[in-house]
Amino acid sequence: MFEKPMRNHFTVIFERLGLVMILPLLFGFSWLQGSLTNIFKPDFWADLGNNVLGANNLFISLAAPLYFLALFLTLASSVLYWIGISFYIKEGFFVFERRTIFRKTAKLPLANIATVNLERNIFQRLVGTAKVKLDLDSAHTANRTDFVLVLPLKKAQGLRDALLEQKEGEDHREGKENDASQTGEIISFSPLSALRHKVLSVPLFQVLMGMTFVFTSLFEEAQAPGQLKGFFILLVFLGLGLIFSLVWGSLNLSDFKLKYDRENFYISAGRFKKVEYTFARRRINALIIKEPLLARIFSLSWLEAAVVGLGNERSETPRLSLLTDTEDLNRLIDEHLPEFGSPAGKAKPSHKAALLAQAFKVFLLCFLVFAFSHLTYSYLWQALALTFIFSAFGGYLAYKTKSLAYYDESLHYSKGIFTKQRAVFKYNDIQDAKIVTNPLMEKLGAGRLNFHILSSSGMKSHKTGWFDLEDLRKISKKIADSTDSSTSLFD
């Protein structure tokens, strides 16, 4: 079915036109923000009409022709993209051909395809198409999807199944019925659980910064009579935006399901934008358990995985669960990913010398605030006091929240103030490791460990805090003595 060259669905033309089509709306919204205080007055709309009709300047005269020129060029390039792109499967290879202005032919062994994922946004669901996203085992392209194909839904599902079936080889085909009988659901979440996940995962640091901005604006507006109305309108818009963000995000996490067979994990989620991830279990190189501050009150956490080759434009790490009880999460790991389980033992805290590094950061930040405030701001000592209190308190929390544990097979590293996270790595999945220190810290017996794993760009590089040098040397030896497991990914 997929041996002959095929094209993307023609609706890819309209998808590529999307940004140009909504550009006038973005400009209109930006202009509207500056008129919030007058938007409900009839005179505002009368003046707007008169200004448009009486406009006689070069910018307005050229705006419309330039916009339609951009629209035409985008349309022409989109049609050329649709006509010039073709792809097919042949003799164990995925072949991608681009015959546009810049020609390209890629012939890739199916074994080198790391993940095959499906995604459907609202537009694609309306027109009955789906996006097939292919990621390769490549560090160079780990921060983006390698190939994006748009096909009718059934054909997209068929292409995904054909790629997965053929890339696993004859053994997979012969055992397909047996695999199907072993397919099962590990965990699922209702729409209410998705909403709980979004609410309890709200980044509190951003909320605090937003509240600081709001109250600072309120103080300034209170000094200018007649401006409070605009402030409250802005506050309503911000509140509605937050509510929309929470509801939209929870709808795109609704019906979250994690399934498995003897080789693969399958993740699906979303009401409006539907996504389906499929990746081999052996491609998981690390697990990350995250506990946002609000979620810790209810003993909830969620699980993410660092997957070899799975990269996208947002550098996301695939979730294996939403917020759930810690006991349920540990059970999921013990039953389905036992190699990442948590052995009994006490984690080692940061070296006390780490407080020196934090003190230096506090001093540097206070010096910068002093230099800036002395020139431009009259409340010098108040600014210095606030900077010192917040930076010193944040530095101490950063010191206290870091810990390290190492066992025979795995390394565990915890960090995070507002969102606590614990990452688990197998030694044979770590590509390289380097101990970093300086003369002062080395004399005090402290160092940092930098290491990389084969994964998407958001998870491939790791750097610990300051820990005892002897512990770091033991960890480095364990990494050096372990057999690199990445070669098995290409067998």
Q: Could you report the per-residue pLDDT of 39-48, keeping only the tens digit for each? A: 556 665 566 5
- Asked whether residue 186 is assigned to any structural domain, the reply reads no
Residue 485 and residue 412 in one domain: yes
Residue 67 and residue 146 in one domain: yes
Cβ contacts of 466 within 8 Å, gap of 6 or more? 350, 351, 353, 354, 357, 441, 446, 447, 448
In one-letter notation, the amino acid at residue 249 is G
Domain range for 19 is 12-174
Residue 293 and residue 159 in one domain: no
pLDDT at 412: 92
Query: Is pLDDT larger for residue 264 or for residue 60?
Result: 264
Query: Which range, 96-100, 315-319, 473-477, has the best average confidence (pLDDT)?
Result: 473-477
- Asked whether residue 469 is assigned to any structural domain, the reply reads yes
Question: Could you tell me the pLDDT band of residue 351, with boundaries at 50, 70 and 90?
Answer: very high
- Asked whether residue 185 is assigned to any structural domain, the reply reads no
- The tokens for 385 are 């006091």
Q: If we measure between CA atoms, which residue out of 402, 389, 377 comes closest to residue 463?
A: 402
Residue 382 and residue 394 in one domain: yes
Q: Which tens digits make up the pLDDT trace of 299-343?
A: 999 999 888 766 554 545 678 999 999 888 988 998 888 888 766
pLDDT at 38: 58
Q: Is the Cα dihedral 111, 454, 478, 426 positive or negative?
A: negative
Residue 213 and residue 241 in one domain: yes
Residue 479 and residue 373 in one domain: no
Residue 103 and residue 234 in one domain: no
Query: Which range, 17-26, 42-51, 216-225, 460-469, has the best average confidence (pLDDT)?
Result: 460-469
Residue 478 and residue 379 in one domain: no
- Asked whether residue 181 is assigned to any structural domain, the reply reads no
- Asked whether residue 239 is assigned to any structural domain, the reply reads yes
Residue 140 and residue 264 in one domain: no
Question: Could you tell me the pLDDT band of residue 373, with boundaries at 50, 70 and 90?
Answer: low
Residue 372 and residue 429 in one domain: no
Q: Of 121, 145, 174, at which residue does a domain stop?
A: 174
- The tokens for 251 are 């709808």
Residue 27 and residue 107 in one domain: yes
- Asked whether residue 5 is assigned to any structural domain, the reply reads no
- Asked whether residue 184 is assigned to any structural domain, the reply reads no
Going by DSSP bridges, is the β-strand pair 93-99/300-307 parallel, antiparallel, or unpaired? unpaired
Strand order in the sheet with 93-99: 85-90, 93-99, 103-109
Residue 441 and residue 481 in one domain: yes
Task: Indicate the number of domains in the chain.
Answer: 4
- Dist CA 83 CA 77 (whole Å): 10
Cβ contacts of 416 within 8 Å, gap of 6 or more? 290, 291, 401
Residue 205's alpha-carbon distances to 15, 22, 77, 319, 353, in angstroms, are: 35, 31, 42, 22, 27
Query: Which range, 117-126, 345-354, 466-475, has the best average confidence (pLDDT)?
Result: 466-475
Lowest mean pLDDT among 77-91, 160-174, 464-478: 160-174
- Asked whether residue 2 is assigned to any structural domain, the reply reads no
Question: Could you tell me the pLDDT band of residue 417, with boundaries at 50, 70 and 90?
Answer: confident
Whole-structure pTM value = 0.74
- 10 Å CB burial of residue 472 (0-12, 13-18, 19+) is buried
What's the chain's average pLDDT?
79
Q: Look at residue 486 and tell me whether its pLDDT is greater than 70.
A: no
Q: Which tens digits make up the pLDDT trace of 378-410?
A: 667 777 888 888 889 989 999 999 999 998 888
